[in-house]
């Protein structure tokens, strides 16, 4: 603008360009704040063309430059006011983040600087007096400071948004990892824990205090005849029925693992061997009428089990071997299934 004032012959070309540049600057701020507030798209091309026409018209309104600046600063103020309105709706990127608040304050300060020029220029045009000298000296400096603060706050807002997006992405990755870890530890057929979960549990408790309890091994009798007679879907249904029955006879905090195809492992902390055996004795009575695919009538299932006590987690594997041997000693003569009541 100073160049246009020093070169009057270039004013018709330079002044509209100066006005248009300030309109584009204010409109870009408005579009950016709208995007931050609600994801709105920037203005279309015709908006920029309209601003160009407004700049041409404003530069031709009056012979006096101060008079021409009055509508120009009013237009810039109106556009910036729209940006302030949008900035006040910009959500914070998280607790303790200052970017949105700093953006709002810097934009309000910039809009106020442009707004106050309207009455000052109007007073100068009305009275015929020039603008006070300090406006020429300090006005551009204050405007530059406000624009610098605006740019700095915009950068903070963008960085905070990126940081929030990274936090959300990390949360999603953490949730996906936990889901995968759960899937790696849970048997999909019965929703029981699996061998991997068992050995992870042992590894995590070896160095803890003494944790006495009992381990039980439960094996479904006659799974092969069920598969051969009714199909593997019936065998899967029988395995799920055993898993459900086991959960009903143990406590909520006892651990149930699917140890093999038709074999389950139960870890009961703080339970005596006699109490564990008494609980598992009731399984056959709960499996007298199990509906399975391929059979019109429910079938009666039986299980074999063995129980052994351990004094600490370090002795759990030895107790498991002992319980497994006791289970196999109960197995003979239990390799068939019966018809259950409807």
Indicate where the chain has its CATH 3.30.70.270 domain(s): 195-339
Which of the four pLDDT bands, split at 50, 70 and 90, describes residue 41?
A: low
Report pLDDT for 42.
53
Which of the four pLDDT bands, split at 50, 70 and 90, describes residue 342?
A: very low
Q: Is the pLDDT of residue 79 over 90?
A: no
Q: Is the pLDDT of residue 323 over 90?
A: yes
Instruction: Please check whether residue 190 is in contact with residue 240, taking contact to mean a CB–CB distance below 8 angstroms.
Output: yes
Report pLDDT for 175.
85
Q: Is the pLDDT of residue 205 over 70?
A: no
- Averaged pLDDT for residues 209-225: 88
Report pLDDT for 51.
67
Instruction: Please check whether residue 293 is in contact with residue 237, taking contact to mean a CB–CB distance below 8 angstroms.
Output: yes
Report pLDDT for 39.
62
Query: 280 by DSSP, 3-state: which?
Result: helix
- For the chain, give the mean pLDDT: 82
Q: Is the pLDDT of residue 87 over 80?
A: yes
Contacts of 115 (CB under 8 A, 6+ apart): 73, 77, 81
Q: Per CATH, which fold does 195-339 belong to?
A: Alpha-Beta Plaits (3.30.70)
- Averaged pLDDT for residues 51-77: 74
Predicted confidence (pLDDT) per residue in 167-195, tens digit: 888 988 888 887 777 778 899 999 999 98
Q: 172-195 burial, b if ≥16 CB within 10 A, otherwise e?
A: eeeeeeeeeeeeebbbeebebbbe
Q: Is the pLDDT of residue 271 over 80?
A: yes
Calculate the dihedral angle through the C-alpha atoms of 111, 112, 115, 117, rounding to the nearest 10 degrees: -120
Contacts of 85 (CB under 8 A, 6+ apart): none
Q: Is the pLDDT of residue 7 over 60?
A: no
Q: Is the pLDDT of residue 84 over 80?
A: yes
């Amino acid at each position: 603008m100073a160049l246009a004032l020093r070169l009057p012959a270039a004013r018709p070309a330079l002044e509209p360009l100066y006005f248009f540049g300030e309109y584009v600057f204010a409109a870009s701020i408005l579009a950016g704040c709208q995007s931050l507030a609600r994801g709105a798209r920037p203005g279309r091309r015709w908006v920029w063309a309209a601003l160009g026409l407004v700049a041409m018209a404003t530069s031709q309104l009056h012979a006096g430059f101060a008079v021409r600046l009055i509508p120009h600063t009013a237009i810039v103020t109106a556009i910036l006011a729209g940006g302030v309105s949008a900035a006040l709706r910009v959500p914070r990127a998280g607790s303790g983040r200052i970017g949105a608040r700093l953006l709002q304050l810097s934009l309000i300060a910039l809009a106020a600087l442009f707004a106050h020029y309207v009455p000052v220029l109007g007073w100068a045009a009305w009275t015929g007096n020039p603008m006070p000298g300090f406006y020429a000296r300090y006005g551009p400096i204050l405007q530059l400071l406000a624009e610098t603060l605006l740019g700095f706050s915009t950068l903070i807002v963008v960085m905070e948004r990126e940081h929030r997006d990274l936090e959300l992405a990390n949360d999603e990755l953490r949730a996906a990892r936990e889901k995968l870890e759960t899937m790696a530890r849970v048997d999909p057929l019965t929703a029981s824990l699996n061998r991997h979960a068992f050995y992870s549990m042992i590894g995590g408790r070896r160095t803890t205090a003494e944790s006495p309890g009992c381990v039980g091994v439960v094996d479904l009798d006659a799974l092969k005849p069920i598969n051969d007679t009714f199909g593997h879907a019936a065998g899967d249904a029988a395995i799920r029925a055993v898993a459900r029955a086991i959960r009903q006879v143990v406590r909520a905090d006892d651990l149930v693992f699917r140890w093999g195809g038709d074999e389950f492992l139960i870890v009961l902390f703080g339970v005596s061997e006699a109490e564990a055996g008494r609980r598992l004795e009731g399984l056959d009575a709960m499996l007298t009428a199990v509906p399975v695919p391929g059979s019109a009538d429910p079938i009666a299932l039986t299980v074999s089990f063995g129980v052994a006590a351990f004094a600490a987690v370090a002795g759990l594997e030895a107790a498991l071997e002992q319980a497994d041997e006791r289970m196999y000693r109960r197995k003979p003569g239990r390799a068939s299934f019966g018809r259950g009541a409807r």
